[in-house]
Chain A
């Protein structure tokens, strides 16, 4: 194996190791302090445990941590895809308007009194995917999808849907708090059912790994990619739809969590360079780890009350990002 390849593998091992450490730490700590002995005992007792600590570990803490990891990974991968398709470093996964559509679906569910169970997640998902369809059709002309029209259509859709949500919020007095809290993004009260929904995102996280060559070439622009024989339209279609579905699933289970999808791709590129063969898997792992740690902090710092997780992701992400940017500029 060449030196570069070996270094590549070391990097991946490091990333995987870091993610696993974050996972273990997230599972070990929480608002209810469980001793290491207790944790080990509960882990061995399995999901059917009926003891109070067993229920805390298996029914409350674990689904929440697993969900945070899944959502973090989904948003990070979506962020990588969209930043590179739009060739714009300020792109986050919410730019396609899908998140606003999902938020509208959730708001409608709350206002109709359907907040319990699968209705909220289901309606959010429907809202997100419907918005994708709308925005996609708006940008599609003669078999081609203009990526910038897509961006503008997505942003317009975001504004429009946000306005509709605002109207619903104003009319909804009693539900106002519920809607606001949902919009802030949170993993509080999430269960294994939500994890089941989020698992649908996993295949979509793997899809871009088959397009790393095309994504690398697309960094040089669509024209160049066409010259080099890349099926640009098909690649764009697959990638945008993948990113949108990842975002829709993430938002429908956790609300709108800022910053992860924007920051992680940059952080990762600063560390491993622009090759998507590295950027994608690293972003997946780092996104998961960051979200897991952010959720850990959000649920333990001020226990028994919780801080919205989007606040924590921003507080961690922004300074780290600025630091890395300054370091990166020296090379």
Chain B
């Protein structure tokens, strides 16, 4: 088999495996809940003042119980759950956004989240690694050490704390408004995308501002080592220009760093969830907050599943880009 095909198949298999594990965890959590989902849902509907007749209540209860299949053996329940989540997308009604279905609510939020997640992880990775190479090769030692000290000082601090400190600083010290985007009517997918980018720009700024440290520190270390490698010294002795040497170092240091981009996605996701909530960006983080505030368990489980899908898809996309930058995978017979 061509190594490229083998590689792609392996990656797709891994993504599917991640999604399957995500569903299984969702299933286990939904069965271990310390209360009856159907009863809870209906009692809360009534408490909110929805006027329901006895017949409607019974029907709804039956539907929810059927949806969960709580009366059947656990293996059958699992099979039904898999079918509902993977094929029919039937995840039941949402309480927070009643009477919308969980599927529809998440379906609307998911593209927003994946866009922000991919942009944030790729841009902060590029900025971090770009700065890392420059810092390793520059003659201006001062700038490089200032950057390094900033990165080392900020790297250990949890992103949530950095984002909140930034918010305090931005609102109370700079006294600036948070840029939002007015709602506009959208006719084409292209306009939609532009609108999305505009909405995403401020959350993205915050994510990138505090997201480049890891890439920077790693890249600087690798690039400093790479500078001593034989092939770089050889190119230097051959009289290669500084620019081409710089490019060679960047090109070769980027391979090990790419792994951190893919594996770091779930960590970037934590940040993007929070930023979505803080800056009212209509992604998964935003609806997750509503789900928690309204104790909407159906929606939470749906989000849990789709969060897995979002990170698995984002990781898969990045994995499929990898052969483009690593020629060893593209050509057969190479290690």
The reply to whether chain A is a binding partner of chain B is no
- Chain B residues close to A by CB (< 8 Å): none
- Chain A residues close to B by CB (< 8 Å): none
